[in-house]
Amino acid sequence: MSTWTTDEMGPTLYQPVEDLETPALLVDIDAMTSNIEAYVAFADEHDVSLRSHVKTHKNAELAALEDEMTDGGGICCQTLGEVETMARNGIDDIYLSYQVIGDRKLDRFCWLSQKVDKLATTVDSVATIEMLQDAASDHETTINVILEIDLGLHRTGVSPDSEAVALAKRVDEAADLEFDGILAYEAQVKSKAETEAEYDELCWEAMELARGVVEDIEVAGVPVDEVKVGGTATSRYSGKHPVVTEINPGMYPFNDVGELKRRPWEVSKDDCAATVVTTVVSVPEEDRLVVDGGSKTFSLDTPEMPVPKNRDDIEYVNASEEHGWIDTSDAEESFAVGDRLEFIVPHVCTTINLHDLIIGVRADRVEELWEVQARGKVR
Ligand SMILES: Cc1ncc(COP(=O)(O)O)c(C=O)c1O
């Protein structure tokens, strides 16, 4: 009915960044590229595949770029909706690191598995295996299956003991399922390790557990071709262990405040490619100003706050939905309404999920516009 759509007023290619309306989610293309290259170099050096987790950005063009830069490593998704978005846009090697439960979803999964070259999913219970087998049989297809092992995160996954062997055998014996290997996501290390040496030690310990599981399953007569591990923080530690065949980081092209604080020896502000540029909307007091980015612009689902990208003398201290409180008591200059301030995002996955568009920038100009296509696709 109305022609007042905001689409025509959105950012355009080659527009100077300083002209963008704020708040705007930016990605520094050069920093993103070099972050991807660093993980690719690690994967090459340690002879592991790099399958990027696209839950972070939910955009098929970025997924294709990651797939290309990782030499066809494929992608991971966390929801079936993400799988559909990626498949529809031509990505043909996808691993769904999540359980598919319910008849409707099983139908969608089987349909998709016939559309793409390779699609695998995750199980961690007899119930999931039986549902998958029934669906595969009904759809006259074969489903590739990964068994999730709980190495200490205590989220999903089976304990690395006899239960793992029993489930692997069950998949192997199912007429229409193909057992590909295990998922051993070791994110618990992030809450325990504080130094590089501790990351090394705790990831190695976790991978030794994974190695034990692989040996037990193989002794039972089931080959384990794939051992998938790692997020952004742990991939480059766990990936050194010979049992690992594939790392699955998601945030690595962008980084965020969480990664910056977690691994300061590895991640600098320059490596934080995802930022939000904001505008000062009010300077109510000499030592305090307010920007137009609050909790609907920066996801605050972790304890971190946004961190200024290019300066250390101001601090983002509090947020309401559309307002960000900035403490300027240590700043030498004074600020005026209309000034612009850029912040590294606290948690990149959930922050991107708040935005419609990721604006790729290079040399202070808009060079790419990536829609967050699978935003809202939680089913
Ligand atoms: C199973 C699995 N693999 C990989 C990742 C990617 O980890 P990160 O976001 O730390 O890069 C996630 C993230 O939640 C995950 O759940």
Residue range 78-94: average pLDDT? 98
Question: pLDDT exceeding 70 applies to what percent of the chain?
Answer: 98
Q: Which of 254, 279, 314 is the last residue of a domain?
A: 254
Cis peptide before 308 (omega within 30 of 0): no
Residue range 100-106: average pLDDT? 98
- pLDDT of residue 5 exceeding 90, the answer is no
Question: pLDDT exceeding 90 applies to what percent of the chain?
Answer: 97
Residue 329 is assigned to a structural domain of this protein = yes
Residue 107 is assigned to a structural domain of this protein = yes
Q: Best of 32, 185, 229 to mutate for ligand 1, by most ligand atoms within 8 A of CB?
A: 185
Give the structural domain span for 331.
Answer: 7-26+267-371
Q: Best of 35, 55, 351 to mutate for ligand 1, by most ligand atoms within 8 A of CB?
A: 55
Q: Which of 197, 231, 254 is the last residue of a domain?
A: 254
Residue range 147-175: average pLDDT? 96
Q: Is any ligand 1 atom within 6 A of the Cβ of residue 294?
A: no
227 burial (CB, 10 Å; 0-12 / 13-18 / 19+) is buried
On whether both 230 and 194 belong to a single domain, the answer is yes
- pLDDT of residue 8 exceeding 90, the answer is no
On whether both 40 and 155 belong to a single domain, the answer is yes
Residue 167 is assigned to a structural domain of this protein = yes
- How many of the other CB atoms lie within 10 Å of CB of 225? 10
- pLDDT of residue 161 exceeding 90, the answer is no
On whether both 241 and 358 belong to a single domain, the answer is no
Residue 1 is assigned to a structural domain of this protein = no
On whether both 45 and 139 belong to a single domain, the answer is yes
On whether both 20 and 58 belong to a single domain, the answer is no
27 C-alpha to ligand 1 centroid (Å): 20
Give the span between the Cα atoms of 203 and 350, in whole angstroms. Answer: 25
Q: What is the CA radius of gyration of the chain?
A: 22
Q: Beta strands 307-308 and 340-344: pairing type?
A: antiparallel
On whether both 93 and 225 belong to a single domain, the answer is yes
Mean pLDDT score across all residues of the chain: 96
Do 10 and 362 contact (CB within 8 A), yes or no?
no
Query: What is the pLDDT at residue 7?
Result: 55
On whether both 297 and 233 belong to a single domain, the answer is no
On whether both 282 and 367 belong to a single domain, the answer is yes
- pLDDT of residue 153 exceeding 70, the answer is yes
Q: What is the pLDDT of residues 195-227, one digit of tens each?
A: 999 999 999 999 999 999 999 999 999 999 999
Report pTM: 0.96
Residue 259 is assigned to a structural domain of this protein = no
Residue range 26-37: average pLDDT? 98
Query: What is the pLDDT at residue 245?
Result: 98
Residue range 261-272: average pLDDT? 98
Residue range 60-74: average pLDDT? 98
- pLDDT of residue 1 exceeding 80, the answer is no
Give the span between the Cα atoms of 128 and 149, in whole angstroms. Answer: 14
Q: Best of 36, 48, 53 to mutate for ligand 1, by most ligand atoms within 8 A of CB?
A: 53
On whether both 237 and 163 belong to a single domain, the answer is yes
Q: Which residue lies with its CA nearest to atom 10 of ligand 1?
A: 231
Could you tell me the CATH number of the domain that includes residue 94?
3.20.20.10
Q: Is any ligand 1 atom within 6 A of the Cβ of residue 249?
A: yes
Q: Which long-range contacts (CB under 8 A, 24 or more apart) does 258-267 make?
A: 258/302, 258/304, 258/346, 258/347, 259/232, 259/233, 260/307, 260/344, 261/304, 262/190, 262/233, 263/196, 263/199, 263/233, 265/195, 265/196, 266/196, 266/236
Do 55 and 250 contact (CB within 8 A), yes or no?
yes
Q: What is the pLDDT of residues 315-371, one digit of tens each?
A: 999 999 999 999 999 999 999 999 999 999 999 999 999 999 999 999 999 999 999
Query: What is the pLDDT at residue 82?
Result: 98
- pLDDT of residue 302 exceeding 60, the answer is yes
On whether both 94 and 208 belong to a single domain, the answer is yes
Residue 15 is assigned to a structural domain of this protein = yes
What residue type is assigned to position 270 of the chain? D
98 C-alpha to ligand 1 centroid (Å): 11
Q: How many domains does the chain have?
A: 2
Predicted confidence band of residue 137 (pLDDT cuts 50, 70, 90): very high
Query: What is the pLDDT at residue 162?
Result: 81
Q: Is any ligand 1 atom within 6 A of the Cβ of residue 235?
A: no
Query: What is the pLDDT at residue 257?
Result: 98
Residue 262 is assigned to a structural domain of this protein = no
Residue range 265-279: average pLDDT? 98
Q: What is the pLDDT of residues 277-297, one digit of tens each?
A: 999 999 999 999 999 999 999
Predicted confidence band of residue 121 (pLDDT cuts 50, 70, 90): very high
On whether both 143 and 184 belong to a single domain, the answer is yes
Q: Which of 205, 222, 254 is the last residue of a domain?
A: 254
Residue 301 is assigned to a structural domain of this protein = yes
Could you tell me the CATH number of the domain that includes residue 275?
2.40.37.20
On whether both 200 and 79 belong to a single domain, the answer is yes
